[in-house]
Structure 1
Amino acid sequence: MFTTRPEIAATFGAVGSTHWIASQVGMAVLERGGNAFDAAAAAGFTLQVAEPHLNGPLGDCPIIIHDARTGTQKVICGQGVAPAGLSVAKVKGELGLDLIPGTGLLAAMVPGAFDAWATMLRDWGTWTLADVLSFAIGYAERGIHYVPRICATIQTVKPLFEDEWKTSAALWLRDGGPKPGALWANPTLAATYIRVLKEAAAAGSDRVAQIDAARRAWYEGFVAEAIDRFCRENEVLDASGRRHRGVLTGDDMARWRAPVEAPLAYNYRGTTLLKCGPWSQGPGMLQTMAILAGFDIAAMDTTGDEFVHTVIEAMKLGFADREAFYGDPDFVDVPMETLLSEAYNIERRKLIGSQASMELRPGSVNGRTPWVDHEAEKRLAMLGAAGAGEPTVSRLGVSGADTCHVDVIDCWGNMVSATPSGGWLQSSPAIPELGFALGTRGQMFWLDESLPNGLKPGKRPRTTLSPGMALRDGKPWMAFGTPGGEQQDQWQPIMIARMLDHGLNIQQAIDAPAFHSEHWPSSFWPRTARPGKAVLEGRLGQGVLDAMLARGHKAELGGDWSEGRLSAVRQEPDGQIFAGANPRGMQGYAVGR
């Protein structure tokens, strides 16, 4: 099996991520005696500086951890909730909107990333917050190497920044903006973290007390005050084409802290796969694997049309249930036990035939009538008729955004899988005294309180962010994940099936050509769907494309290296650690020794 690079082998520790600098930062922490939790936090804060178009300090970050001391796994939910002032009555009634905009201030949730990292560091790490943040602060002060994609993103939204989001222009367009391959500093971001550390230090020398003081500075102190003030005093243009204020307040910030939960689990071929709860799309991957468990995947060519067709049809069924049933379980009774049961998936499996399905087909669970969005195709047609494209991107900031990922294993057997995202530089105007922007995860809510993912104050939007972990014989085996929005829980089951059914190693499974479907409604504004559409990585070839078309898929070939940004680290019973990362985009790397 061809690979672009070797699977990294180690015994001391390993880190895989979407950016080589973050991977090296994580490894540097391990080399200096830090554990996996220290290393992941340092890498995560560094990613905010290295990939500001993909994540930011006011974004989100779900994390799955394995604690070697207790032998337990936990989810740290870095997905913040809707502000008290954001309701269907407010958005649909008062403002007259049918969807929450994908940019601007109105879609801002309580930012969850900082408290997720801080909670993990406090309860499972060993380093001080000052030591962990030293890498990110250093890069923000001195400058960090920018890849061309960051610069291209900034140039894409330059007209919006210049005409409307003046605070973003001041931050990102100074001196003409960053240049590919050059260093770019964000001294305002550095100053924010330095001030957080000063307030932490005032709490005394105790590590835990310092971290808690930093959390208060973020959620009850000067950071929350700056966010409150910016949302109250600014009315900004967003993706709706109109100007709106934010409703996020300091009180919303003060009331929230990142909850710690048990992960969901499904056993596939003797390997237990772990995902976040139904406030994420992660269970959709578990449902996909539950459906695939009834097929002889090992007998299929993983670059052939039978495999591609079967996996896509299974994903269509899993994601149909995502639309029908998933939501914040603090507000919604999500029937996960039934959705992952063998009896349910025997029946779901029967829906997969030799031809592509064109309908969104959620199951019927416990007599419930599943909800299906029938407007997504209409929104797509309206978007096309309106001529959406580069003018819309530049005028309203509707620019494709993505995510980051980091995986870590240390010499003690601790393991972390984290998927930071949101708070993109192009998501909303920069808050000038902080040096970064709010996220817009609220766009994922529906404006109907009766729906599982319907907007309610204090509720988590159903996020696409989806870290993963796997156990064998009850022991941690692998941490894995990817950016990619809707594609996160499509590319991951492809990798898992290639590893568990075909014996590929991490790097082989990542490098092999992948694919995705756009069959169901997108989680992102303007919530469009393309029923039957399947995008195949170019290396799958014309023969597979022709076979998929013959099966009825609306299939097309993408670029040869265009699908997936996976990384993973695993540990085998003999103590060897292995790691791999995505070569696409020449940015992701795994390191270890």
Structure 2
Amino acid sequence: MKRFLTLLFYTAFTVCATAQQTQKPVLHGKHWMAITGKPLAATAGAMTFQKGGNAVDAACAMLAATCTMWDVLSWGGETQALIYNPKTKKVIAINAMGVAPTGATAEFFKSKGYNFPPQYGPLAATTPGTPGGIMYMLANYGTLSLEQVLGPAMEMAAGYPIEAQTANSIEKNKDLIKQWPYSKKVFLTHPGEEREAPEAGEIFVQKDLLQTLTKMVEAERAALKKGKSRKDAIMAAYDRFYTGDIAKEFVRGSKEQGGLITMQDMAKWKPIEEEPLKVNYKGVDVYKLQQWTQGPVMLQALNLLENFDLKSMGHNSTRYIHTLYQAMNLSFADRDFYYGDSYFPPQEPMKGLLSKDYAKQRASLIKYDKNNPGIGPGDPYPFEGKKNPYLKLLKERGYELDTTKRNFAPTHDSRNGSSMTDYQDMLWRGTTTIEAADKEGWILSITPSGGWVPATIAGNTGVGMSQRLQSFVLDPVLNPFNVVEPGKRPRVTLTPSLALKDGKPFLSFAVQGGDTQDQNLLQFFLNVVEFGMDVQQAAEAANFNTNQLWLSLGGTNTDDRKPKPGHILLNENTPEAVRNELKEMGYTLSFDERTSGPINAIYFDWKHGSLWGGSSNYGEDYGIGW
């Protein structure tokens, strides 16, 4: 009888979850959709569409605006994007991740007492990727000039009313900001006063950044006057940033403050257009960036979950939560050991990792009655006809289950311990997302990041330097594919998503939040595909997060990053019956009011010829459609 009542409770909970009233409405559009992390930046996208630009132009304008607003990234950070090209009907991937600079070796960081590269400061920086990413996408797939696309960002650099979220983050981090003279000059607008950061609504001026953006536009204008094509003129601006006077000042400012980036590092770096990875889940093709991101972890999880009848379990029932938790842990265990920069040896075994047969083998490890705290990396090599060269290293990883001194928060800009308040704060401030689509069929999903507050600004450029070097490891026992080397890209958490159904665009979606990104995106996708939620319901629905993984961002000590088996974040509305059964299965529970993750998404309604936008109800995410 007790089980019967519990089942009824689960069913009622599932119905409520799938039919929930959302806090924000679905956005509807016929011609275009622009969604990102700040209202002003979404407006920049709308302005660009109104100028006649396509989704690529609008996405680049939103990216430029969010960088200028430090949400939570800057111009020296990194960009990773998926683009659907309606002319070729293919998804392409843009790799605009910066690389480790000259001298950034494991031995260098170990000599300074680090177990991981530092979280902050010039030594945390990769080369800037976002400027190159914007100009590459715009030159090759946009329609407007760089000057037109950067117009909103330049106006904002000249002065915009700063929002409370960023202003308060500056105040919170002012002690770190004071270590770097150029950051102090830009961020602390009231030096010596009790509150040294700007106030909410204050007109925040960034003269140096405006000068940098102006130089880029001047380079484009000069090239056009010489008869250069639109594309070549944009790339002239690219050259001025990466090899000209902007690069020289960036490098000088970096070196002055102890950084490693050289002019050669700047000149050698290039954005790369790649083939994305994909799997098919029940007739839907899901696309992710390659293994220099964590994106394939969601693809692995989908392959695993195809072996289960998730819908019959009920949304967020005990069995559903348990099954997803185990599938995510299996996938993250592989991520933590096998993912890295595919342009550096050794070659990652992605064919094996994304094999359906490998997924079936891994799925057989899931225990139905309890959490498995001993989940580790699998052996995908036989599934691509090879022998695993790292079996010895895998045996050395036994200490990964030591759970002491480990916090839950993806603590890339928190110094206040391990409370769930800190965790929530990280979800709010973790980076941003950009979703754009137009009536011609261009679609972009972007998850840019890097150079967040407290950023080290490089000289008089106004450009905040990336902090992404911290996602490397120094010990090959942790991951032989992701050991820091000059010229190498770190394995990042940033993971935009696109899905096609019957050869047509189906969903474009992304989320901020460090290691939680693909956890929340997986659940968002299943909310739509398995449980029939609309795009806004799926974005707001309660998710859960596992902490049984190695943190990609955080402290410089190994203990700061170790997995915490069985720890799970649940929504505070989770029924008591579900809580009790999870405890009986060996889970350690924590709760929060909102656990959906700040997801932004676009659904393509081919029946009615319209766009449906979902904009996160977390913080300042905002969308505009027309």
TM-score, scaled to structure 2? 0.87
**SS at structure 2 position matched to 1:577:** strand
Partner of 2:440: 412
Partner of 2:340: 327
Residues 406-432 of structure 1: CA deviation (Å, up to 9, x unaligned): 1111010110001110011314x2224
Q: Distance in 2 between matches of 1:307 and 1:181?
A: 45
Return the letter of the residue paired with 1:254.
A
Q: Distance in 1 between matches of 2:542 and 2:201?
A: 28
Return the letter of the residue paired with 1:342.
K
1:359-398 correspondence runs (5 A): 359-366=374-381, 367-368=387-388, 369=391, 371=394, 373=397, 381=405, 390=415
CA distance 1:541–1:24, change in 2 (3 Å) = farther
**SS at structure 2 position matched to 1:317:** helix
**Alignment partner of 1:28 out of 38, 47, 65:** 47
**SS at structure 2 position matched to 1:98:** coil
**Alignment partner of 1:513 out of 542, 563, 568:** 542
**Alignment partner of 1:539 out of 567, 573, 586:** 573
Shift, 1:179, TM fit: 1.3
1:41-80 correspondence runs (5 A): 41-50=60-69, 52=70, 54-80=72-98
Return the letter of the residue paired with 1:41.
C
Q: Does the aligned pair in 1 maintain the 2:535–2:601 contact within 8 Å?
A: yes
Unaligned 5+ residue runs, structure 2? 1-18, 191-195, 382-386, 556-560
Q: Does the aligned pair in 1 maintain the 2:252–2:459 contact within 8 Å?
A: no
Residues 465-518 of structure 1: CA deviation (Å, up to 9, x unaligned): 000000111222221101111011000000101100111111011111111111
CA distance 1:380–1:422, change in 2 (3 Å) = farther
TM-score, scaled to structure 1? 0.91
Return the letter of the residue paired with 2:138.
L
Larger mean CA deviation between 346-355 and 398-407 belongs to: 398-407
**SS at structure 2 position matched to 1:534:** strand
1:258-407 correspondence runs (5 A): 258-331=271-344, 332-354=346-368, 355-366=370-381, 367-368=387-388, 369=391, 371=394, 373=397, 381=405, 390=415, 402-407=430-435
Q: Distance in 2 between matches of 1:346 and 1:383?
A: 32
Larger mean CA deviation between 319-328 and 357-366 belongs to: 357-366
**SS at structure 2 position matched to 1:461:** coil
Unaligned 5+ residue runs, structure 1? 235-244
Residues 296-325 of structure 1: CA deviation (Å, up to 9, x unaligned): 111122232222221111110000000121
Return the letter of the residue paired with 1:338.
G
Partner of 2:208: 188
Shift, 1:373, TM fit: 5.0
Q: Does the aligned pair in 1 maintain the 2:445–2:497 contact within 8 Å?
A: yes
Shift, 1:391, TM fit: 7.0
Q: Distance in 2 between matches of 1:198 and 1:107?
A: 31
Partner of 2:3: none
Could you list the structure 1 runs, at least 4 aligned residues long, displaced by more than 4 angstroms after superposition: 372-380, 388-393, 398-401
1:89-488 correspondence runs (5 A): 89-92=107-110, 94-146=111-163, 148-162=164-178, 164-175=179-190, 176-205=196-225, 206-234=229-257, 245-331=258-344, 332-354=346-368, 355-366=370-381, 367-368=387-388, 369=391, 371=394, 373=397, 381=405, 390=415, 402-427=430-455, 429-448=456-475, 451-488=480-517
**SS at structure 1 position matched to 2:491:** coil
Q: Does the aligned pair in 1 maintain the 2:406–2:563 contact within 8 Å?
A: no
Superposed CA RMSD in Å reads 2.2
Shift, 1:27, TM fit: 2.1
CA distance 1:417–1:391, change in 2 (3 Å) = closer
Residues 430-475 of structure 1: CA deviation (Å, up to 9, x unaligned): 2241113211111111113681111122111001000000011122
CA distance 1:23–1:110, change in 2 (3 Å) = same
**SS at structure 1 position matched to 2:149:** helix
Partner of 2:8: none
CA distance 1:554–1:365, change in 2 (3 Å) = same
Return the letter of the residue paired with 2:436.
V
Percentage identity across paired residues of the two chains = 29
**SS at structure 2 position matched to 1:582:** coil
Shift, 1:232, TM fit: 2.2
Residues 120-175 of structure 1: CA deviation (Å, up to 9, x unaligned): 100000000000000011112131341x321222122112233x223322211112
Residues 340-364 of structure 1: CA deviation (Å, up to 9, x unaligned): 1121111111111221121242111
**SS at structure 2 position matched to 1:578:** strand
Partner of 1:553: 587
**Alignment partner of 1:17 out of 36, 59, 64:** 36
Shift, 1:523, TM fit: 0.6
Return the letter of the residue paired with 1:554.
T
**SS at structure 2 position matched to 1:278:** coil
**SS at structure 1 position matched to 2:563:** coil
Q: Distance in 2 between matches of 1:29 and 1:517?
A: 39
Q: Does the aligned pair in 2 maintain the 1:519–1:533 contact within 8 Å?
A: yes
**SS at structure 1 position matched to 2:213:** helix
Q: Distance in 2 between matches of 1:480 and 1:514?
A: 16
Q: Report how many residues are paired.
A: 569
